[in-house]
Amino acid sequence: MWARKATVAMDPEHYSTSQLHEESELGASELAVSSARLAHLQSITDSALGYMSLEEMLSELLERIRGGLGADTAAILLLDEDRDVLLARAARGLEEEVRQGVQVPLARGFAGRVAAERRPIVIEDLDHADVVNPILRQKGIRSMLGVPVQVEGRVIGVMHIGTLRRRDFDGDDIALLQLAADRAALGIDNAHRTEQRAVTEALQRTLLPEALPQLPGIVFSARYLPAGTAVRIGGDWYDVFPLPNGKIALVVGDVVGRGVVAATVMAEIRTSLRAFLLEGHELVKAMTLLNELVLTMGRNRGATVATLQLDLERSELELVNAGHLPPLLMSPHGEVRLLDDVTSMPVGMRAATRYESTRHPFDTGSVLLLYTDGLVERRGESIEDGLERLRGAALLATDDDNSPLADRVYRAMIRAATLEDDLALLAVESVPLGETLEATLPARPAVVAGLRRTLGRWLAAAGADEEALFDVTLSTSEAATNAIEHAYGLRESTFTVRCAREGGQVTVTVTDKGRWRAVRPMGGGRGLEIMRRLMDSVEVERSPQGTVVTMTRRLSDAP
């Protein structure tokens, strides 16, 4: 491209000595230029650049470009797709662009036009051009050349150079700068993939539940997957957590859009909804507060959210759906239906949106599936087809192996299709409690309400009358509270509750691994007295390894 242009062969006799000398000098000059171009080309494609950090690579590449093209400045701006602006990332000779955080709207100004039109642009005289970056004029830049930075045909930024004197950039200048932009694109793309993977993994660890609750009679399983082979960040999420009233909150949602902004909005929505529910608000009120909050974020972002409360004592679900795909509920008899009775507007779309709740039985043997659209939507088919496929997958999954239900449903849904969008799936199963109930729980006061409800469910199934159910539940609650308050204090630990039935009698054992404190909280100290009055027998064994409280009670006073 930069080799000396070929000359037409002519008879030397037609040339004078001076003409021959001039051509010789011209040939030497062109050869020197070609050699310099080749050296600059080699410096740009130098494989050693690939072993530098992104910042080091961009800085070194811009310096080589500035020297190779005889420019006074060189800079690269990267595209923020969520805001449609170009952000100054690296510069040489014009470092103020980076220090001041220059932003250029897409399709506006010099760099904005290069990105929007996807082609090189030359400005011979900056005084007669539309430039939105004031630093260029402040520094006296006269002429500019910019080219798009692209990855697989997708513009990710702009690289430009500038001179303090007026200059006509030629085709060789454009080709060399475009080569540098292509070289930078490789490093930027690799760095973005690595960075995005790290951020995605961090978000998954911090924004999704660390571990699903372990509750007697309830089995939770979940899957979360980003779309495609590249790791991307999205706004899909699920959540499971106990409430102060002893119920279990179940949430699934999807923020409009993708990328870091969608993930950030998702984090705020997830945390806010948790806070509203943990404050004790009813589902309808919590969703109303969430809608008002999202409207004030000012990011023009909405989200679909389905929120449920699982009442283990009543074997019932309460649902509020804000524009999300309907949860799927399977009865113990294999009847599958979508809970699409009432669906309101997504949060963040309209002020004063009214939300309604519906209630559904969740007896032993029932299955609930919460999911985002990535599980059921496929290009070229209607959403109804995807929901019908989910019905079949749910029925098929119940007869499959012993792997988690969420994994079985996922395999059945994705078996003949490629994942095209992010996916979140939460499966909830109600299983028989059995003759023995055993649970290891965190030593926190918030778990006691849930323990009472679970125990009440188990006692009712065991045939306990109303009086025995009250006595055993309250006594176990007192024993658990003693373990939390006296054995551990402020330390994080666990305690175990085991209930076994033999004939008409139940034995409850509460075990901790701490050492009970001699000084008890103000107003405390009556737990053992209550247990002894309500239960048929109470034994307390203390040792350096912990405390074991064993209680027995008849399930019915009837002969």
Among 142, 189, 156, CA closest to 76: 156
- For the chain, domains (ranges, CATH) are 1-44 (no CATH), 49-198 (3.30.450.40), 208-430 (3.60.40.10), 436-554 (3.30.565.10)
Q: Is 245 helix (H, G, I), strand (E, B) or coil?
A: coil
pLDDT tens-place string over residues 22-44:
544 445 444 444 555 555 555 56
**pLDDT over threshold 80, residue 491:** no
Reported as a pLDDT band with limits 50, 70 and 90, residue 441 is: confident
**pLDDT over threshold 90, residue 439:** no
Report which of residues 1 and 224 the model is more confident about: 224
**pLDDT over threshold 50, residue 4:** no
Mean pLDDT of 105-121: 91
The CB density around residue 79, as the number of other CB atoms within 10 Å, is: 22
Q: For residue 353, what are the CA distances in angstroms to 254, 349, 428?
A: 18, 9, 29
pLDDT tens-place string over residues 248-275:
999 999 998 776 778 888 889 999 999 9
Half-sphere exposure of 294 (CA within 13 A, CB side): 35
Q: For residue 520, what are the CA distances in angstroms to 122, 218, 477, 478?
A: 80, 35, 17, 14
Lowest mean pLDDT among 114-128, 296-310, 481-495: 481-495
266 neighbors 235 (Cβ within 8 angstroms) = yes
Q: What is the pLDDT of residue 557?
A: 60
Q: Torsion angle, CA of 406/409/412/416, rounded to 10 degrees?
A: -70
pLDDT tens-place string over residues 515-551:
665 545 444 457 888 999 999 999 999 888 889 999 9
Whole-number Å distance between alpha carbons of 546 and 147:
72
348 neighbors 291 (Cβ within 8 angstroms) = yes
Q: Exposed, middle or buried, 179 (CB in 10 Å: 0-12/13-18/19+)?
A: middle
Ordered DSSP codes for 405-455: HHHHHHHHHHTTS---S-EEEEEEEE----SEEEEEEES-TTHHHHHHHHH
Secondary structure string (H, E, C) spanning 369-409: EEECHHHCCCCCCCHHHHHHHHHHHHHHHCCCCCCCHHHHH
Give the bridge partners for 512, in sequence order.
495, 547
pLDDT tens-place string over residues 185-231:
887 888 777 766 676 666 666 767 777 887 888 999 999 876 654 44
Q: What is the pLDDT of residue 83?
A: 81
Selection from 124-128, 471-475, 525-529 with the highest mean pLDDT: 471-475
